[in-house]
Structures are given as structure tokens and as C-alpha cells.
Chain A
Amino acid sequence: MSILVNGSTKVICQGITGASGAFHTKGCVDYGTKMVGGVTPGKGGQTDANGLPIFDTVSEAVRSTGAEASMIFVPPPFAGDAILEAADAGVDVICCITEGIPVQDMVRVRARLEAYPDSVLIGPNCPGIITPGRRVSGEGSNAVFEGGCKIGIMPGYIHTAKEDAASGKAVGIISRSGTLTYEAVWQTSVLGIGQTTCVGIGGDPVRGMGFIELLERFGDDPETDGIVMIGEIGGQDETLAGQWIKDNLSKPVAAFIAGRTAPPGKRMGHAGAIIGGADDTAQAKMDALRDCGIDVCESPATLGTTMAAAMGVDAAAPA
């Protein structure tokens, strides 16, 4: 089991002929993701290097392929529109990798997405979402997987399916930071802990799914034995998520907040911090999460061992 996507999810790439779109579409195909096509306006009717059909519009792609999820690599000025095009075409899981979308575009996109309650947005400015597949051959970065669904830019080989995990346990991972997500994945994999699904929710101030919506889904997923939550300085999301966990979740949670040593004078315009009324430093968030009974890591290098201890996995005897 997993959340949001699995090995049978049909995926298209918006912006499939761009450099990043093409590179990462191939990465997803190689991982075993059921890529069914792509969209680049004006290139409809062609096929990409993987033999995938290219369409002019998302609605055409959905009609022809039955795509349920989309991976967006459209450049920032047009990415907001691409998200709404996907929602309007009936795509269920919209995953926007694009970095650098103007904040005001995302304010409007979020408001317009209210009209599409069946679509969820992941990102933007995120690594994407992955439900790991089973390893069928090879080792390390040469490993071959099947039955998984990787939508995004994360290196697939660092992930472990629950069935392949030595401990027999798997965690869900939710993170605001891309590369720090890989860190958590790698550390759990090395300790013999698998991942059900890993979601990078993105670093932008206005974005799609947040911690609580994903905690809820991981809480309901019977295969998810624990949850790793990775936050950052700024905003109140982690603090609110901590309270939600305390009130609603019985699964163990390990958390890390990046930026404890970030210089305070360097944050964005000070009025942003005033709205929440509370302190949004890393230390304040770590304290708030601890108060909610969550295992908070002091160091980013102990994400895996902290999670293992919370789940009762013997971290001293890795797979």
C-alpha cells in the first residue's frame, strides 16, 4: 500500500520536450513508472526519445492515455497555467517540480483549484512524489526496480519498498526540502527500513498539499508504520502539524527542522512573521514539536536512527 500513487498510476509529463522534462521523464521510465505520454503545445503527434506520445494539450493526453497523474516541468512564467490546465483536464495528482513560480501566481492558482476538489497539487518547487518499487536486480545506483511510481527528480535507487526492507517496516516521508528528503530516505534504507511513499511538498510560501493533509493519509495507510517529517524555519505549518499529530495520530513520528543556525537577520520582510504572532525559528518549532510528544532530531544525520528507535527497529543491526 501507499498513498496517492502506486505502480499502476498512469503518468504524463507537462513540458516533456524541455531539457529537464526530457531528462527526468527518462529517469521515471527507467525506474518503472507507468509513463504514458507528455504534453508540449505545438509538438502534438510526435513521440519523445522513450517512444512516448506527445500531445498539444493535457485534456487530449488524458483522453488518449487515461493519465491520472502529471509531472510538471513547465518554465515558471507558464507553470501556474499548466497546473490549472491539468486540474481542468481531470488529472488527480498534479506534481509541479518547477522552481521559481511568482508567489502571486500561486495565490491565484490555489484559489482557482478550489473548483477542482478531486485534484491534489504537490509542490511547486519540490522533488515530487515516489512510491518505491521492488528491486529486481542490480545494486546501488545500478539497481533495477519494478512496480513503483516515481514522479519527479529524486534518485530512485536510494528508496526501498517495504517488501524489500530487512526490518519489514516502512515509513512515510513528508518534507519541505528536496535534498533533505533524500537524506531521510537514504538513512532509513541503510537501516533496513522501507518507505511507503515519500512526498516533497516544496519550499514555496504558497503551495499545494501540506503536512496535515499528508499525515492524515499516512495515518490511514495500514502499511505505513511511522512517519518522518522534515520542516524548515519560517511559517507555522510544522507547529500546527505537531498539534494535529498529538490530537489525531497514534503512529510514531520523527521530525527534523532545518535552519537552527540560520542567521536571524536574513529572513524575508519582517511583516510576514508578524501575522502568525508566534516565533517561527527552528528552535521554537523543535520545542513545539517536542511538546506534542514527537521525536525531534538534533542532527540531520540522525533522522534514520531516531525513526528506527521510535518504531522499535534495532538500528545497531542494519540490513
Chain B
Amino acid sequence: MKIHEYQARALLSDGGVPVPDGAMVETVEAARETAQALFDAGTSIVVVKAQVHAGGRGKAGFVKVVSSVDEAVEAATFMLGNTMVSPQTPPEGIAVTQVLVAAGVDIERELYVAITTDRMRRTNSLIASAEGGVEIEQVAHDRPEAILTVPLHPLDGLRAWQATDLAFKLGLTGKQVRQFTAVCMRLAEVFLNTDASLAEINPLVITPASDAHSDGQVVAIDAKFNFDDNAMFRQKAIADCFDPAAEDPDELRANQAGLSFVSLDGDIGCLVNGAGLAMSTMDIIKLHGGEPANFLDVGGDASQEAVTEAFRIILGEDGCKGVLVNIFGGIMQCDRIAHAIVAAAEEVGFTVPLVVRLEGTNVEAARVVLDEAATRLPTMITATDLEDAAAKVCQAVATV
């Protein structure tokens, strides 16, 4: 699960990490008031940022640095109600309904810090780079030696000395070291307390020396958090941050039915059990010259109603020319799928070719159910194995 930047900022701030003053607003008037208050408090620049779950905001014109209230109002007027399109958004873009208005910060240095689950080390790791403020994937690709990795203890978390050691390796000096250590410790605490899978501060800025901070101040400018969906049962406050408007409507609908669904560009709808088999089914469709319309893992425990909902979603997608059902029942009982196929046939109706390949738990019972309903499934084609199923659906769709 993802949250917005302003929510991530609040998590850090509540955890004791310094962030610039500011607020999330949903109207131009509120943007004006917030910007006015920030300028009144003595800041010379203000940043207006669209709150969407996608990168590429700066290049798309949805992050604006302004030096007057009027400019802030102009930026907010442009963004609110507008649709942002970037390489990381769907082609139709994402509607912007919230902007963050925050004080600008003078920058001496920009760093990158993040904590994420490290599957190789079976723990979480702190990742840092002296090259913050840029696309970290690019840094990792071009100069992997510029990325420092510090594994957290699986039971004790981050130790202060590890963060201090990292501060020196990043070339920090004087009071910056202690501030950096505190930021890392608090980031680790927030990460673990919220069951995050990623907690990233980019950039983590060091401000120039000032009267208040003789060695500068360490401040989090932008933050990104992702969370472990499996832990949301014990993270009510995080779960409440969920923004349905930021999700793909079909994916959201599928998730609410307990299904794992990703919308793709092709024309062959897929209904499969198990993520690995679902991915493989997409792979083999492509090998046969077809294009999958979606990834759909109905999982093991999906109810008949959930599977019927899956058919509704697949058949409702634009340009669906055929459906491939590939079930190798283990925990999923094939007859449940068969009943759902019949229910979907009665409710929605299959007008496109439906290729069904069933094997595994309760497969005999499933075949009986489908045989009895054969007249209601005029477009159904049964397949004997994976190869046969892929060939049949690709052929059927090609001749539609």
C-alpha cells in the first residue's frame, strides 16, 4: 500500500524527523492562506507539489518553486482539478485533488536515505548515498559504489553506531553527524512500527550554516513510504491513509474481492490461480503470439462470489476478445471455479471465446458442473493442458 507525500511527511514529523513547515490543501483559497503564513514566517521561497502516487512530477510541471503568494496561487490553480501525465502515470493521467504547500529550504548538500526489506539478507537494510535528490535507480546503475548498504539487526533494528559510521562515510562533519544519526534512528523506528516495506527520504538535505544551526540542519524534503499489505490488520492508522482515488478502479475492485489483479494492454483476459502460474500463463500467451489483457491471481481461498466478480471485471475490460481460465487446483477447488463460470455465464454471459483448462483438486466434480451447464456456455472450449489452452485461446481470438 502507498500513501501520499504529505502523509509520509506527517509520519516522519510525528516520529521526530525535521521537515519544512507546510500543509496539504485541497482548495486554491487554502493554498493562498498557507503560502501567506509561510512567507509571513520569514521563508523566501515556497514549494507547491501535487499529491499523486507517481513520479515525474517535476518534469510534468506539478512541482513549482515560487517566491510570492500570487505565484503560489497560480501554481495551485493550475494543479488542482488538473490531470497530471508523466511516464509513470497511466496514459490518461491522474487527477490532482490535493497539493502540498511547504516552505522552501536552502540546500548545502543533498543525501539519499531509505530503509527497505532486504530479501537477500533476510532483514531490513538502510541504504544511503551522498548523491541525493536524483533518481536513485540511475545512481545504482551508473555508479553502484555510490550506494552504501547497512543491514539492520533482525531483532534489534538499527544500532546508533551503524548510523554514525554511515554519517562519517557520507562525509558529514560536526553537529551534522549527530543529527543524521537521529534521523536514521527515527526513520528505522517509523519503518518498523508501521510495517513499512519502503521508507525513503530523497532528498535528505543539509542546510547551510546559520545562527540557529552552526553546522547546518538535516531536514527531510521529500518522503515516500510503501507498506506491507499483509500487516494492515494491525496498522489501522496507516490503513486509514488509503486513498481509493489514487488506485486503478479495476485493480481496486479486484483487491476488494481479495483478488490480485493488474490491468494490461492486450485482449486475452486471464483467470488463473497462483501468482507464478498467472505470470506463466501470460508468458505462454505471448509465446503463442497473443497479448494478455490482465494478470489475475484468484488465490487459494477465493469464494465463488469472488471468482464471479473476477469474471465481471475481465469481461468488463475494454477490448476483451477472449478469456483463458487456467486452474491447477491445490487449495483452490476446481468445482468452485466451475460454479463461478456458470454463475458468470448466467449473469454476464460469455459472448467471447472462453477456453477452460482445469486440473487438480476436485477436477472431476468441476467437469460434471461444466458438462451440465454446456448449453449456457456456447463459446466454451476445453483444453487438455497449458500448451493446448494457450494455443486454443490465441487461435480463437485471432479469428474473432
Contact = CB atoms under 8 A, between A and B. Distances in A.
B28 to A, nearest CB: 32
Interface in B184-217: 192, 195, 197-198, 200
A158 B136 contact: no
A263 B114 CA distance: 24
A275 interface: yes
Interface residues of B, number: 68
B124 A107 contact: yes
A99 B300 CA distance: 9
B330 to A, nearest CB: 4
A59 to B, nearest CB: 23
Contact of A103 (B197, B283, B299, B300): B197
Contact of B276 (A112, A142, A177, A261): A177
A266 interface: yes
A206 B117 contact: yes
B284 A107 contact: no
Contact of A272 (B116, B144, B331): B116
A272 B230 contact: no
A275 B283 contact: no
Contacts of A117: none
A104 B228 CA distance: 9
A228 to B, nearest CB: 13
Interface string B161-187: 000000000000000000000000000
A35 to B, nearest CB: 17
B79 interface: no
Interface residues of A, number: 72
Contact of B123 (A107, A236, A265): A107
Contacts of A77: 233-234
Interface stretch (B41-49, B58-66, B358-366): B358-366
A275 B330 contact: no
Interface in B115-161: 116-125, 127, 136-137, 140, 144, 147, 149, 154-155
A177 B275 contact: yes
Given A111-B155, A262-B295, A271 B127 contact: yes
Interface string A121-153: 000000100000000000011100000000011
A120 interface: no
Contacts of A258: 276-277, 279-280, 283
A102 B228 contact: yes
A205 interface: yes
B122 A103 contact: no
Interface string A6-42: 0000000000000010001001000000000000000
Given A270-B137, A298-B287, A276 B330 contact: no
Nearest to A152: B330
Interface string A90-111: 0000000101111111011011
Interface stretch (A50-58, A164-172, A178-186): A178-186
Given A103-B117, A103-B228, A178 B276 contact: yes
Contact of A261 (B272, B279, B361, B387): B279
A263 B264 contact: yes
Contacts of A238: none
Contacts of B330: 127, 152-155, 178-179, 182
A232 interface: yes
Contacts of B308: none
Contact of B386 (A111, A260, A265, A300): A300
Contact of A99 (B123, B226, B286, B299): B299
Interface string B316-330: 000000000000111
A44 interface: no
B119 A205 contact: yes
Interface in A173-212: 175-180, 182-183, 186-187, 203, 205-206
Interface in A257-285: 258-263, 265-266, 268-277, 282
A274 B127 contact: yes
A218 interface: no
A85 to B, nearest CB: 18
B328 A179 contact: yes
A250 interface: no
B240 to A, nearest CB: 18
A186 to B, nearest CB: 7
B88 A265 contact: yes
Contacts of B301: 20
B279 A102 contact: no
Interface centre among A127, A152, A203, A259, by most chain B C-beta atoms within 10 angstroms, is A259
A110 B122 contact: yes
B294 to A, nearest CB: 11
Nearest to A269: B198
A107 B283 contact: no
Interface string A216-238: 00000000000000101111110
A209 to B, nearest CB: 12
Given A179-B273, A183-B386, A102 B127 contact: no
Given A235-B120, A272-B116, 6 more contacts: A111-B122, A177-B276, A203-B275, A269-B226, A270-B136, A298-B287
Q: What 5 A-B pairs have minimum CB-CB distances, sorted nearest first?
A: A177-B276, A179-B274, A269-B198, A111-B154, A301-B387
Interface of A: 20, 24, 27, 76-77, 97, 99-105, 107-108, 110-112, 127, 140-142, 152-155, 158, 175-180, 182-183, 186-187, 203, 205-206, 230, 232-237, 256, 258-263, 265-266, 268-277, 282, 298-302
Interface of B: 88, 114, 116-125, 127, 136-137, 140, 144, 147, 149, 154-155, 192, 195, 197-198, 200, 224, 226, 228, 230-231, 233-234, 262, 264, 272-277, 279-287, 292, 295, 299-301, 328-331, 359-361, 363-364, 385-387, 390
10 contacts: A103-B231, A111-B122, A111-B123, A155-B328, A177-B275, A179-B360, A236-B120, A269-B198, A271-B200, A274-B147
